[in-house]
Amino acid sequence: MSLILQDICITPKGGAPLFAPLSLTIAAGQIGAVMGPSGVGKSTLLAAIAGHLPQGFALTGEITLNGARMNSTAPQLRRIGLMFQDALLFPHLSLADNLAFGLPAQIKGKAARKAAVEQALAAAGLAGMGARDPATLSGGERARAALMRSLLAQPQAILLDEPFSKLDTALRAGIRAFAFDHIRARAIPALIVTHDASDAAAAGGPVLNLGGQAG
């Protein structure tokens, strides 16, 4: 089980590549990190891996997950989870329903699904809050809930797009530890993009620096 990026290069239409071709191998249970200042194309890289390359950009290189080439697979079939700095809980659904949204349809039966959601809520320290409107949650609660929603979908890999940058420093380390522990427990490869060196250090996996424009 691994996520392999081979000679990945993203080029805007009629422009220079965003960064020099990059290669990175992340094994199961490992959390890799891509570092770099704002605007260097970190988020675009994650979007490309998840399958959401914006119009007007071209991707070269190979994305391989568990031995399968992902380049032209539809995003919803890649089984790659994605977490943003805004937790992006759906505002029209309750907290529990947001988690149920992530739960695969194969888990059938109202009771079984409810139990799975309750369990995830408890794991995130949100036990008993399932009926809450996501808008009433704190930033930390939202981040934990979003992570649980991603994990409930049983992804084969997970991508984190500066997920902690909006949290205040007091909360930050705790939430980060919570997230990384859960990812490691699933034994799936993960990739975090960040401009904060402490995130990369905590990840403990391979680190790649995107300095800027390729020559």
Partner 1 sequence: MRAAVLVIAALALFAPIAAGLWHSAGAALGHLPALGSVGPSLAPLQDLVTQPGFATALRLTLGTGFTATLLSLALAIALAAAITNGPARIISRVLAPFLAMPHAAMAVGLAFVLAPSGWIARALAPVFGWARPPDLASVNDAFGAALILGLVIKETPFLLLVILAALTQIPLRAHIHTAQSLGYGIGAIWAKVIVPQLWPLIRLPVYVVLIYNLSVIDMALILGPSNPPTAAVFIARMFSSPDLAQIMPASAGAILLGLLAVASIAALWGGARAIARFGPIWVRRGGRGAPLNTLFFGTAMLGGALLLLGAAAMVSLALWSLAWRWPWPMLLPESLSFAAWARALGDFGPELAMTALIALASTAISLVLAVAWLETQTPSRREALIYLPLLIPQISFLFGMNMMLLQFGAQGNIGAVIWAHLLFVFPYMMIALTGPWRGLDPRYAHAAASLGAGRLRQLWAVKLPLLLTPICAAMAIGVAVSVAQYLPTLFLGAGRIGTLTTEAVTLASSSDRRITGVVTSLQTTLPFAAYLLAFVIPKLAHKNRSALQGAAA
Please choose, from the candidates 156, 53, 46, the residue with its C-alpha nearest in 3D space to the C-alpha of residue 104. Answer: 156
**Helix residue spans in the chain (DSSP H):** 42-50, 95-102, 110-123, 139-152, 169-186, 197-203
Please report whether residue 174 would count as binding partner 1 according to CB under 8 A.
no
Q: In angstroms, what is the minimal distance from the CB of 72 to partner 1?
A: 15
Q: Given the complex with partner 1, which of 13 and 215 has the nearer CB atom?
A: 13
Rounded Cα distance between 77 and 125, Å, is 30
Rounded Cα distance between 64 and 23, Å, is 11
- The 3-state DSSP class for residue 158 equals strand
List the interface residues with partner 1, window 150-169 (CB under 8 A).
150, 153, 155, 159
Site mask, partner 1, residues 86-125, x = CB under 8 A? x-x-xxxxx--x--xxxxxx-x--x--x------------
Which region among 83-91, 168-176, 187-195, 206-214 touches partner 1 (by CB under 8 A)? 83-91
User: Which residue ranges make up the site for partner 1 (CB under 8 A)?
Assistant: 47, 50-52, 55, 74-82, 84, 86, 88, 90-94, 97, 100-105, 107, 110, 113, 149-150, 153, 155, 159
